[in-house]
Amino acid sequence: MLVLEGVSHVYPNGTRALDDVGLTIPTGMFGLLGPNGAGKSTLMRTIATLQTPTQGQIRFGEIDVIAQPERLREKLGYLPQDFGVYPRVSAYDMLDHMAVLKGIARKGERKTVVETLLNQVNLWDARKKAIAGFSGGMRQRFGIAQALIGQPELIIVDEPTAGLDPEERNRFLNLLAAIGENVVVILSTHIVDDVTDLCPRMAILADGRIMREGAPTDLIGETQGEVWAKTVASDEVDDLRAAHQVISTRLSAGRTIVHVLSPDDPGNGFRLATADLEDVYFATLARSRNAAATQRAAA
């Protein structure tokens, strides 16, 4: 189990990227959902011991992550958002090299590890191909293979499906689901469907703070009865924004479906919508923006 208490991080320029983050993450898939710039990558790098927080505590089992980063690294697999490799090296040779860096010195043991991982991520047939020729999905699957070297107990993946086509995305998510049965896997993303498909628990991060946390089904249930929908022409949207708390707009057959947040019937032709995780996400972000605006006005 991974436990974060009061984790904050302020960069030298004064930017507060994390603000009193507290999370308890059990074994299995955990989704960290938030917009670009919310602080997700900063939080992932902090957990992965690539930077030290300004304040707070992080524990993984019996390991004090901040005081004993080397102990966590022995149990960590990490796929960052920007995963760089030597592009002209074959997948087999690159994975073999990374296994050496992870401390697997014996050639026979390394051969078994590399071959097992390439088969696990369905890259065996491409093992001799240079990584430069891989598709985006193949690169991400290779990234997971290197993250799995050494049988890690904590795996962090940061924005892993951004830019993947639907087929590659499904293949990658199925791979993550299989991995997440016995270890802690943190999926950091701004793609709501990834969390919906994979994660029994999740949190929403905005402006460096945890805004919501829990099971997706519970969060959706808490939002039912507050989301209202109406299909309108595109030139009506601005007027609706002025009159209602619009949380999202979606195109459908050339027209726009507007979702608004309201505890009561907003009238004006809106109908009660069946909320989903996307509504939870957008409603949370809308409340966060409103709270920030109120705070600025009061300052």
- CB of 102 closer than 8 Å to CB of 149: yes
Say what the pLDDT of residue 209 is: 96
Say what the pLDDT of residue 114 is: 96
pLDDT, one tens digit per residue, over 241-262 is 999 999 999 988 888 999 999 9
- Strands 28-33 and 184-189, bridge-based pairing: parallel
Task: Categorize the per-residue pLDDT at 157 as very low, low, confident or very high, splitting at 50, 70 and 90.
Answer: very high
pLDDT, one tens digit per residue, over 126-150 is 999 999 899 888 888 898 899 999 9
Say what the pLDDT of residue 85 is: 67
Segments making up each domain of the chain, as ranges: 2-214, 221-298
- CB of 19 closer than 8 Å to CB of 8: yes
Nearest-angstrom CA–CA distance, 87 and 85: 6
Could you tell me which CATH number the domain at 2-214 has? 3.40.50.300
Residue located via tokens 């302020």: 10
Average predicted confidence (pLDDT) for the chain:
92
What token pair was written down for 183?
């270890």
Say what the pLDDT of residue 132 is: 87
- Is residue 87 pLDDT above 90, yes or no? no
Say what the pLDDT of residue 140 is: 86
Mean pLDDT of 18-25: 97
The helix/strand/coil state of 209 is: strand
Mean pLDDT of 43-48: 95
Nearest-angstrom CA–CA distance, 26 and 291: 30
Residue located via tokens 């790098």: 45
- Is residue 175 pLDDT above 90, yes or no? no
- The full length of the chain comes to 299
Terminal CA-to-CA distance of the chain, rounded, Å? 40
- Is residue 22 pLDDT above 70, yes or no? yes
